[in-house]
């Protein structure tokens, strides 16, 4: 007797060209997951008839739907397609900025340009960038990965140490990797066919019409970064051979861990954050129709961005943000240890209360909700910005 094991179970995904239709068998990618709960479900239609034998008439099967989630240990490039799908915008590169005249200072603002606008050139709060073109002592700034924690048209403030340099021309700024965010128009509406192939028993479960319903990222102190991606979809097919051929291997990068990175609350790098969670919810739902047992689509609604942040109680600043309904910014940068990084940045966040815990030191928990940035443009106007420096 052959018993299927998790080790011999392969989960592979690829975007569909047409909703609910099997895509081409090549060009898929395998998932490096921790767990998976994607499964077919059916509505049970129960009889309400009253009978003198006191026995309920047999129920019938109703509509078919698929839902569930896949859990990952976050790594650069591991779930980039899924994160882009939940934000409804593909990853894109930021055009390098060249020919700038910039003064670098050791105190904020750290990089000041003589003319033009960083914002108009495509920079946004939370972005990572690398300068070039500094000479003499200022050359130490070249190629260093800086985090933007405050931004105006002509001034950049960063979280890292900057070496002062007199005004110099020919300075360049490059944003490594790619970014995505919730766009104002032109939203994508991706769907996937996700195959679970059980090699030991030769069974292929093909989940069609799967949209990314939500993505949750969890950052606990001194731990790996977790990611839970929830799907909602149309149907499941079965076969006894694998559908996808030669899928690409998952990202081989090391998992991201919370001790290697940076947490910024309202423009100030903090050393007291103990927990951070982020929930990007697309508010997906399925429809029901007469004459078919599958939904015609999974319908996506408004995107809600919320979460929770926990900090050691060192002062009343966070409570002041709550009391005064003050809009703040939140940035989390996660480094992979070899020069790459992932960023989550929200320019406008409001605190909505929370709780308190701790037997010794006190930890305060605060719920938050993010919203669009009316003062921004492009990526800087969005509720949330993601950057992955590994994407090309």
Q: For residue range 85-134, what is the model confidence (pLDDT) as tens digits?
A: 999 999 999 999 999 999 999 999 999 999 999 999 999 999 999 999 99
Locus of tokens 């890292």: 160
Percent of residues, the chain, with pLDDT higher than 70: 100
Residues 226 and 306 reside in one and the same domain: yes
Is the same domain home to 145 and 286?
no
| Whole-structure pTM value | 0.95
Burial 325-353 (b: 16+ CB within 10 A, else e): eeebbbbbbbbbeeebbbbbbbbbbebee
The answer as to whether 213 is a domain residue is: yes
Alpha-carbon distance 246 to 252, whole Å?
Answer: 17
Using the 3D structure, point to which of 113, 143, 176 is the last residue of a domain: 176
The full DSSP string for 312-373 is E-SSSHHHHHHHTT--EEEEEEEE-SSS-EEEEEEEEEEEEEEEEE-SSS-EEEEEEEEE--
The C-alpha atoms of residue 369 and residue 260 are separated, in whole angstroms, by 25
- For residue 305, is it within any domain? yes
| pLDDT over 90 at 358, yes or no | no
The per-residue pLDDT of the chain, averaged, comes to 96
Domain-embedded: residue 392: no
CA angle 357, 358, 364 (to 5 degrees): 45
Residues 288 and 148 in one domain: no
What are the pLDDT digits (tens) for 302-328?
A: 999 999 999 999 998 999 999 999 999
β-partners of residue 56 are none
In a domain, 251, yes or no: yes
- Cα pseudo-dihedral 323, 333, 137, 116, rounded to 10: -70
- Show which of 142, 176, 210 is a domain's final residue: 176
The CA-CA-CA angle for residues 363, 369, 371, to 5°, reads 145
Q: Is 233 a domain residue?
A: yes
pLDDT per position as a tens digit, 230-260: 999 999 999 999 999 999 998 888 999 999 9
Per residue in 137-172, pLDDT tens? 899 999 999 999 999 999 999 999 999 999 999 999
Task: Give the three-state DSSP class for 188.
Answer: coil
Range of the domain at 197: 9-45+60-91+182-387
Q: Could you give the 3-state DSSP secondary structure of residue 279?
A: strand
């Amino acid at each position: 007797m052959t018993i299927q094991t998790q080790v011999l179970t392969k989960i592979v995904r690829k975007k569909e060209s047409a909703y609910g239709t099997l895509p081409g068998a090549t060009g898929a990618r395998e998932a490096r997951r921790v767990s998976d709960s994607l499964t077919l479900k059916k509505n049970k239609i129960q009889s309400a008839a009253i009978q003198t034998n006191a026995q309920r008439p047999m129920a019938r099967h109703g509509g078919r739907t698929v839902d569930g989630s896949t859990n990952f240990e976050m790594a650069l490039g591991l779930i980039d397609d899924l994160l882009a799908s939940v934000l409804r915008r593909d990853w894109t590169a930021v055009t390098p900025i060249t020919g700038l005249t910039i003064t670098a200072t050791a105190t904020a603002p750290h990089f000041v340009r003589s003319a033009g606008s960083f914002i108009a050139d495509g920079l946004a709060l939370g972005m990572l960038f690398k300068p070039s073109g500094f000479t003499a002592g200022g050359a130490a700034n070249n190629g260093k990965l800086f985090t933007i924690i405050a931004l105006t048209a002509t001034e950049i403030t960063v979280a890292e140490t900057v070496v002062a340099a007199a005004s110099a021309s020919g300075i360049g700024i490059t944003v490594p990797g790619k970014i995505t965010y919730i766009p104002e128009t032109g939203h994508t509406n991706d769907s996937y066919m996700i195959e679970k192939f059980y090699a030991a028993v030769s069974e292929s479960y093909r989940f069609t019409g799967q949209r990314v319903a939500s993505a949750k990222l969890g950052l606990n102190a001194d731990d790996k970064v977790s990611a839970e991606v929830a799907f909602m979809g149309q149907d499941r097919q079965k076969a006894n051979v694998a559908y996808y051929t030669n899928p690409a291997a998952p990202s081989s990068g090391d998992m991201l861990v919370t001790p290697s990175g940076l947490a910024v609350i309202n423009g100030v790098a903090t050393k007291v954050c103990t927990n951070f969670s982020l929930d990007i919810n697309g508010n997906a739902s399925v429809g029901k129709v007469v004459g078919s047992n599958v939904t015609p689509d999974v319908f996506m609604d408004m995107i809600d961005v919320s979460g929770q942040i926990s900090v050691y109680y060192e002062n009343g600043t966070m409570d002041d943000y709550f009391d005064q309904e003050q809009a703040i910014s939140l940035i989390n940068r996660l480094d992979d240890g070899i020069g790459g990084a992932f960023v989550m940045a929200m320019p406008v966040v409001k605190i909505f209360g929370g709780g308190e815990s701790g037997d010794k030191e006190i930890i305060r928990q605060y719920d938050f909700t993010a919203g669009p940035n009316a003062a921004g443009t492009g990526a800087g106007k969005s509720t949330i910005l993601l950057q992955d420096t590994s994407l090309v």
